[in-house]
Amino acid sequence: MARGTLRSNSILIAIGVGLVTLWLYDPFRLENTSGDSISTRYMATAIVTRGTVEITPFKRDLDGVHYAALFRSDGVWLPRIPFGVIPWSAPLFGVADFAGYRLEDPPGEWNHDRISTLARLAGILVALLANGAVWLLLLKSAARSGPMRSRVPEALALAGFAFGSWQWSQGAQGLTTQGIAIAAQALTYLVLFSRIRRPELCGLALGAGISVVLSVRPQDLIVVLPVLLAVRDRRALVVVAGVVGITAATIVTAQSAVFGEWGGYGGMLLRLSREAGTPMATFRSNPFPGFFGFLVSPNRGALWFWPLLFCLLPYGRALVSKLSRSRLRTWPPEGFILLGAAGYFVQVCFVDFWFAEWSFGPRYLYELAVPVALATAWCARAASPAWRAALGFALVWSIAVHALGARNFDPYVWHSASATPTRDRVWSFDDLLLLDTWEAGAVVDRPEQQGTLHRLKLRGY
């Protein structure tokens, strides 16, 4: 196919997916994320209206909402979220408030529905940014593999990323640290393919991407740090170190000042749990419960929630075979992306809380969505007929599952239906999250959805 036709098709696909995305993501509904994200929207509101990061201005309205904040003994409420979300939320909230979409209306009364809707819109804007970055990433990766006859494999991969993963069932439901980290991850990977000639600019771009991940979700650094192995110029590495170092110093200073802990709200949570005699476990020495649970357990397994993950098997095998015949300095960008994905998967298998309470399936695998998109495109283009047939089923199933999650799931479905801890239910075949989500019906039709404050008081999210 002629290059001009391919370029035109690429633009048309991007526009088409963008329009479909806006329609399906439903930007003007109330947000629908977990309790930990309450602080995201109220911290942004406090910054815009009160010039503070504290959640204290909302004490009267949010009294009794357990996950609304971290409650200090002196009556101050602090956010349960990293400060790195501020650039992704506060500007939108500020523009909306300035334009007349008042967050405090009338004065002294908070408009919780507007605050909630803005949080969802912020999440969708981040998701759209990630979708665009992944589309460019897919095109650049395909261009490296030789002449292309069509954009169909890349279009299928983009559909899988945008609609067949947590991009839809979580990222489009409200602003979360995971959604921001995924967008930063995709943009960081894109730098590897962009061939920026000036090492200082390359270092600045890589440093910015890594800094965003550090500021919102430092546990995800293992996904992006391997890209530094692809950097050949020392000047670029120096710039990366400078940007990341400045970011880290700023975060530590701000968090120490507000929380009294350099680890911020996470450090404060750990300290409070120790003081209460119930220390929080972080990692475990046995990775196998997480490993098998992530893959095949009925309530947290990728086999049921995200079979596209298994595209990494043929893709990884082909890529490793290619990498084994070359030196590290000659690896293609995909090699470093695969290395980060493998490192992340191993890491989360050791996490004691691998099953992620209050989540739609194995959401800790969300961080693998970008590498899986590359693997999906490769399978559609180069895998054997058997793998391509499996890909077709996996794509349709993944989209159907996450469409169900986007329509029907909220944090109260399944997780609060039983007194049995989630850890003990993930392997239960007669207590299925997907079945409960199906039977719950659409989120918007439930009585408790009639107003954000009512839902917060009733359900706590």
Is 176 among the domain residues?
A: yes
Tell me, yes or no, whether 457 lies in a domain. no
Q: What is the pLDDT of residues 340-398, one digit of tens each?
A: 999 999 999 999 989 987 889 999 999 999 999 999 999 999 878 888 899 999 999 99
Identify the sign of the CA torsion 64, 65, 67, 68.
negative
Q: What pLDDT is attached to residue 210?
A: 97
| Owning domain of residue 171 | 3-411+418-439
Bond from prior residue into 106 cis (ω within 30 degrees of 0): yes
The residue among 406, 368, 361 whose CA lies nearest residue 124 is 406
- pLDDT tens digits, one per residue of 59-91: 999 998 988 899 888 999 999 999 999 999 999
In a domain, residue 459? The reply is no
State the chain's mean pLDDT as an integer: 90
What burial class does residue 327 get, using C-beta atoms within 10 Å of its C-beta: 0-12 exposed, 13-18 middle, 19+ buried? exposed
Please report whether residue 230 resides in a domain. Answer: yes
Domain annotation covers residue 285:
yes
Work out the end-to-end distance of the chain between its first and last CA atoms, rounded to an integer number of angstroms: 51
> What does the pLDDT look like over 132-164, one tens digit per residue?
999 999 999 988 876 667 788 999 999 999 999
Confidence of residue 257 (pLDDT cuts 50, 70, 90): very high
Question: Is 460 within the bounds of a domain?
Answer: no
Q: Please choose, from the candidates 437, 412, 301, 320, the residue with its C-alpha nearest in 3D space to the C-alpha of residue 362.
A: 301
Strand partners, 71: 77
Q: What CA–CA distance (Å, rounded) separates 267 from 286?
A: 24
Query: Angle at CA 173, nearest 5°, toward 453 and 456?
Result: 15
User: Does residue 342 fall inside a structural domain?
Assistant: yes
How many independent structural domains does the chain possess?
1
Residue 449 lies in a domain: no
Q: Is 1 exposed, middle or buried (0-12, 13-18, 19+ CB in 10 A)?
A: exposed
Instruction: Identify the band that residue 105 occupies on the pLDDT scale cut at 50, 70 and 90.
Output: confident
